[in-house]
Amino acid sequence: MPIEYLRGFARPQRTDQNNRRLGRWLAFIAGAANAGGFLAVGQYTSHMSGIVSALADNLSLGDFGLVIAGLSSLAAFTTGAATSAIMINWGRRRRAQSEYALPLMLEAVLLLCFGLLGSNLENNRFLFVPATVGLLCYVMGLQNAIITKISKAEIRTTHMTGIVTDIGIEIGKLIYWNVSESGPGVAAVRADRSRLRLLASLLGMFFIGGLAGALGFKYVGFISTLPLSGMLVVLAVVPLMDDLVGQRR
């Protein structure tokens, strides 16, 4: 791929096209990590709605072990999002080209560690399962905060509830029958077809990523996370190199 094309994924100067390209690839990675993580530990880690609901259920049942686990997952996701914000703002204040690339590279390193160490840690599931859930929740929070800040909350990649809701809204506007409604200030209902295509592509990439992650984990195990880590490196490496070259000059 041309260097300028790769640079566009994570450089500070953003366009809608750059944001959408990055969002699609991150949705793929989130879907793969979420599905693979489920096969590893039996729990989805990309959305907090289910975790908060389970937290309430377990608290009402008095299962305080699961309550602590749920709080840990929630705290890990929140900490990941906070880490992303800290790294982006740190880079922005220093006018770094890598302000968005830094948390992407951190995510790549964490997925790499998970892939390399997971098969060894599986021998001790008592420690492995809580650590893996916490790690993946942290990674999902980290990633979701990256694309949220980049796109000014237009794009989300780690959970599909909002995306599916927005798709439904746009479909409702698309099929709305604009009969002869008269009156001053009454505008025809029009769907945002460009946004609908974006939302559908994000949902599709999350699904394809989930399928790839599930099949990869099923047939090759934890090593299937290594390509995901490599993809994140490709998305982030050019702005990082730009900063390194700039420092040497």
Single-letter residue type at 148: T
Whether residue 127 is predicted with pLDDT greater than 70 in this model: the reply is no
pLDDT band at 119 (very low <50, low <70, confident <90, very high): low
Q: What is the pTM of this model?
A: 0.88
pLDDT of residue 178: 75
- The CATH classification number of 16-248 equals 1.20.1250
> Which of 123, 110, 118, 104 shows the shortest CA–CA distance to 223?
118
pLDDT of residue 177: 80
Q: Give the mean pLDDT of 13-17.
A: 89
Q: Tens of pLDDT along 193-244?
A: 899 999 999 999 999 999 999 999 888 888 888 899 999 999 999 998 888 8
Q: What is the CA radius of gyration of the chain?
A: 20
Whether residue 184 is predicted with pLDDT greater than 70 in this model: the reply is no
> Which of 228, 215, 207, 25 shows the shortest CA–CA distance to 115?
228
> Which of 200, 151, 205 shows the shortest CA–CA distance to 27?
205
For the chain, what is the largest distance between any 2 Cα atoms, rounded to a whole number of angstroms?
71
Q: What percent of the chain has pLDDT over 90?
A: 35
Domain residues of the chain, as ranges?
16-248
Q: 140 and 146 in contact (C-beta within 8 Å)?
A: no
Whether residue 1 is predicted with pLDDT greater than 60 in this model: the reply is no
Q: Tens of pLDDT along 22-59?
A: 999 999 999 998 888 787 777 777 777 778 888 888 88
The number of C-alpha atoms within 13 Å of 231 and in the hemisphere containing its C-beta is: 17
